[in-house]
Amino acid sequence: MKNLASQDGELYLLRGFLPQPLANQFYTELHDSLCWQEETLIIAGKRVLVPRLVAWYGDDDACYRYSSVAHEPLPWIPPLLSIKAKIEQQTGTVFNSVLANLYRNGNDSLGWHADKEKELGQDPAIASLSLGAQRLFKIRHNKSKAILTFNLQHGDLLLMAGRFQHYWRHCVPKISKLTDPRVNLTYRYILPSSMDSSC
C-alpha cells in the first residue's frame, strides 16, 4: 500500500475494503441498531453541540476522554466485532474500542483536529471505515499547510498510523444539498495504563 502522508506519519486508503453486499448489510444493521447520542463538548471553555451523532463501544474498561467528556463504552455487538476482526486481519493491528459517527446529512461534519489524547498513546493507529454516503476527508499538514482531499466511498477503509497525528490534522467538511447519511467507524486501542473503568 502507498503511504499517502509521505514521510510525516502514515496514511493508507483501501478502496472497497468491504464488498458492496457486505457493506450494505453492515450499513443497515449499524445505522438502525447503534445507540446513537447527541453530544455536547467543551471547546475553548464553551459548550458546543457536536454536529453529528456518536456512539462508543468497546472492551469493558476502554474508557475514552476527549474535549473534557468521558465516554464509557457500551458492550460490543456482533456486527462491530465482525468488522473489527476483518480490519485487524488486514492491518495486523489490535483494537479494543470503536467510536461510531452518524453523519445524518451534508450539514453534519467534523472540524479540523488531531487524535492526540493520552489514552491513545504516542503514535496511535486508527482505522476508519466508511459506510453509506460518500464524504470528503481532508488532511492538512501542520507546518506546510498543504491540504490533501480524499473522497471516501461506501466500504472504504482509511488507516492513520505512526506519527500521523503529530504532523497532520483532519476533518470531514459540510456538503450542501447532501441528504444521504453516512456511518463512520473509527477503531482505536485505548492503553491499559490509562483505562479507568469508572470514567
pLDDT tens string 95-141: 999 999 999 999 999 999 999 999 999 999 999 999 999 999 999 99
Q: 45 or 60: which carries more pLDDT confidence?
A: 60
Q: 47 or 20: which carries more pLDDT confidence?
A: 20
71: exposed, middle or buried (Cβ count in 10 Å: 0-12, 13-18, 19+): buried
115: exposed, middle or buried (Cβ count in 10 Å: 0-12, 13-18, 19+): middle
Amino acid at site 193: S
Residue 198: left if φ>0, alpha if ψ -120 to 50, beta else—which one? alpha
Dist CA 87 CA 129 (whole Å)? 9
166-187 average pLDDT score = 97
| Domain boundaries along the sequence of the chain | 10-194
Rg of the chain's alpha carbons, rounded to an integer?
16
Q: What is the pLDDT of residue 46?
A: 82
pTM, to two decimals: 0.93
In the CATH hierarchy, which top-level class contains the domain 10-194?
mainly beta
Cell of 9: 506519519
71-82 average pLDDT score = 95
The pLDDT mean for the chain works out to 93
The pLDDT tens digits for 14-42 are 999 999 999 999 999 999 999 999 998 77
Dist CA 138 CA 58 (whole Å)? 27
